[in-house]
Homo-oligomer: A and B are copies of this chain.
Amino acid sequence: MKPIGVFDSGVGGLTVVKELIRQLPGENIVYFGDTARVPYGIKSKETVIRFSIENILFLLEQDVKLICVACNTVSSVALPIIKSHFRVPIVGVITPGVREAVYATQNKRIGVIGTRGTVKSNAYEKQIKQLDPSMKVVSVACPLFVPFAEEGLLEGGEVLSIARKYLKPLNKFGVDTVILGCTHYPLLKPVIKKVLGKDVTLIDSAKQVAIEVKRILATEGLLNTDRKKASHKFYVSDNPEWFTGLAARFLGAPVSGARKINNV
């Protein structure tokens, strides 16, 4: 049975794979991490679109039935274009996260944190207001969170202090709900929670993304009904050892046999 394709600029998208495996244990998955060109968050829209198209073409070669864009930067800046190019269903991470946040907020004040690219695109704010124009949104970029997560610096005084600086506008604005608009950020949940306070709800898109994927597969009659054990394959454009070393932190389980491909 055809696999679900998932891609990300690097390793962060594995937080989405983790949730897909939980909700769709019978589905085969092919993951591609563009580790030769990671990170995307600081790159221009035009370049992110070009890289995304190359990644999708690789996944299509693997005969995937649906593509999940497990990268907030790509979902923010490139999704409309790539959806218009390809016939395969493509699911991004913005809409599912927005839906969950709008549902969760009580005081209609939502915070969004992400890479510079994601924040600059304003994609979250636009979609939130489209769903409910009465919402108030404040977005901030937290560029050091990605290197912190990749270096495993998930707690301690330094991270806490920098998180306080980044998240100050959110506290000031009185948000009760914050979207973790980058697949790396769930790793920093404890620190973010500490700074924002325990009454603020953190929205991690992964759960809603997997729900959306499940809904589309069911609607299209594409759910895998084989009884065979599902296969999970991992491809990267560089450094499979580096990827494998980090993978467990994001996936919650070790990855074996990540393969390097030269498509980029």
A contacts, CB < 8 Å to B: 35-38, 42-44, 46-47, 143-144, 147-148, 151, 153, 157-159, 161-162, 237-239, 242
Report which residue of A151, A157, A162 has the largest number of chain B beta carbons within 10 angstroms of its beta carbon: A162
Q: Which residues of B contact A44 (CB under 8 A)?
A: 238-239, 242
Closest B residue to A42 by beta carbon equals B242
Residues of B within 8 A of A35 (CB): 43
Contact of A47 among B36, B143, B144, B161 (CB under 8 A): B36
What's the least CB distance linking A195 to chain B, in Å?
14
Task: Please give the distance in Å from A134's CB to the nearest CB on chain B.
Answer: 34
* A237: min CB distance to chain B, Å: 8
Complexed CA–CA distance, A121 and B237 (Å): 20
A47 CA to B263 CA, complexed, in Å: 12
The CA of A144 and the CA of B158, in the complex, are separated in Å by: 12
Copies of the protein in its oligomer:
2
Once the chains are docked, how many angstroms separate the CA of A43 from the CA of B239? 6
Known pairs A42-B242, A44-B239, A157-B158 / 11 extra A-B pairs, C-beta < 8 Å? A36-B43, A42-B239, A43-B238, A43-B239, A47-B237, A143-B147, A144-B148, A144-B151, A147-B147, A157-B161, A158-B158
Contacts of A161 in B (CB 8 A): 157-158
Enumerate the 4 nearest inter-chain pairs by beta-carbon distance, A residue then B residue, closest first.
A158-B158, A147-B147, A47-B238, A44-B239
A to B CB contacts below 8 Å, 7 in the list = A36-B43, A44-B239, A46-B238, A47-B237, A143-B151, A144-B144, A158-B158
Closest to A146 in B: B147
CA–CA, A151 and B37, complex, Å = 19
Complex contacts, A158 vs chain B, CB 8 Å = 157-159, 161-162
CB contacts (< 8 Å) of A147 on chain B: these are 143-144, 147
Contacts of A157 in B (CB 8 A): 157-158, 161
Residues of B within 8 Å of A144, CB to CB, are 144, 147-148, 151, 153
Query: Which residues of B are found within 8 Å of A143, using beta-carbon distances?
Result: 147, 151
User: In the complex, A158→B162 CA distance in Å?
Assistant: 7
Q: Which residues of B lie under 8 Å from residue A38 when comparing CB positions?
A: 42
